[in-house]
């Protein structure tokens, strides 16, 4: 269960997002919102990547007090992933496997499921946006996460890969993992499981539950 209290994020004194209190207790949550509404900012805050005011707690553990644990159990895939061009996909996968304590079996399964194996030995600088996206999604599922944050996971992916991603999230949800994602695309058409999910809307610098 993810709880946010007194959240406030501002850039150069200008408020981007303010959330007095919200609890995400459903296994699947879909956060909607227009461009620039603050979805990615919220995700980066939830992933403990940027400073913010307020407290965020996951399963009773507050982010700031348990940063090492947070990094182990919260996985995040960016909307537009950026990696050093000179590293290979394999380098990054091994890095995540070691830091997130993923097993070789799990990693191999993810690589095959998302079809990354054929280009994982190439340097990331030569990847197309779809290839980089798939790699970032492989990384987001490595380890033993309690919360997976997927920012626009379906963007730049073909229809087949979109279905695979949502099926993968369902698999993790079955294991007790909470998944929060943003998407401008309709999810119900891709996966039945995502037809009746907990939905939130970010608008007017605030988050409301629908």
Partner 1 sequence: MSTLLPILRKVLQFQFYKQHAGFFFLAFMLLFGLIDASQIVGYHVSLMRGMASTPWLCGLALLGWTLYSLKINFFTRQLLRSEGSMFLLNLQACSPATRWWIFWVSHVEMMLPVIVYTWVASVVFVADKTYGILILFLLYPFVLCTISAYLYVRQLMGVLEEKELGFIDRISRLKIFQLRSYYFVLLKQMLHERKLALFIAKVGSFGILYIAFTLNETNFEKGEFFILYHIIISAHAVIIYYMVQFLENKLAGLRQWPLHYWQRFTIAAIPCFILLLPEMVYMILHGQHMFTLPEIGGIYFFSAAQLCVFFSLLYLPRMNMDRYLVYLFTIFAFSIFMMLLKMYWLYGVVELLLAITIYRLRFERFEQPEGEK
Residues in contact with partner 1 by CB under 8 A are 48-52, 63-64, 67-68, 70-72, 78, 82-87, 91-92, 94-101, 125, 139
Could you tell me the smallest distance in angstroms from the CB atom of residue 85 to partner 1? 6
- Other beta carbons within 10 Å of 126: 10
Token pair 């079996």: residue:
105
DSSP one-letter code for 62: E
Judged by CB, which is closer to partner 1: 83, or 119?
Answer: 83
CB of residue 51 to partner 1, shortest distance in Å? 5
CA of residue 103 relative to chain centroid, distance:
20
Nearer to partner 1, 125 or 186 (CB): 125
CB closer to partner 1 out of 49 and 159: 49
Angstrom distance (rounded) from CA 120 to CA 203: 38
Query: Nearest distance from residue 80's CB to partner 1, in Å?
Result: 10
124 or 154: CB nearest partner 1 = 124
Closest approach of partner 1 to the CB of residue 125, in Å:
7
Half-sphere exposure of 53 (CA within 13 A, CB side): 12
* Cβ neighbours of residue 65 closer than 8 Å, sequence gap 6 or more: none
How far separated are the first and last CA of the chain, in Å rounded?
Answer: 18
Helix axis angle, 129-140 to 104-113, nearest 10°? 150
Minimum CB separation of residue 201 from partner 1 in Å reads: 26
Q: Based on CB atoms, which residue is closest to partner 1, 74 or 187?
A: 74
SS3 4: strand
């Amino acid at each position: 269960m993810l709880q946010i209290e007194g959240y406030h994020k501002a850039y150069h004194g200008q408020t981007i997002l303010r959330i007095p209190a919200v609890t995400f207790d459903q296994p699947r949550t879909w956060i909607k919102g227009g461009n620039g509404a603050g979805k990615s900012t919220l995700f980066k805050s939830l992933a403990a990547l940027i400073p913010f005011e307020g407290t965020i707690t996951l399963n009773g553990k507050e982010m700031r007090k348990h940063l090492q644990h947070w990094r182990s159990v919260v996985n995040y895939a960016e909307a537009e992933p950026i990696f050093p061009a000179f590293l290979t996909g394999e380098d990054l996968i091994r890095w995540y496997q070691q830091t997130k304590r993923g097993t070789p079996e799990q990693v191999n399964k993810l690589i095959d499921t998302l079809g990354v194996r054929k280009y994982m030995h190439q340097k990331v600088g030569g990847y197309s946006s779809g290839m980089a996206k798939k790699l970032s999604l492989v990384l987001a599922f490595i380890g033993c996460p309690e919360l997976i944050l997927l920012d626009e996971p379906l963007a730049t992916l073909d229809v087949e890969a979109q279905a695979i991603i949502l099926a993968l999230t369902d698999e993790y949800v079955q294991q007790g993992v909470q998944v929060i994602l943003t998407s401008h695309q309709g999810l119900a058409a891709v996966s039945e499981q995502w037809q009746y999910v907990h939905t939130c809307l970010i608008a007017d610098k605030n988050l409301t539950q629908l």
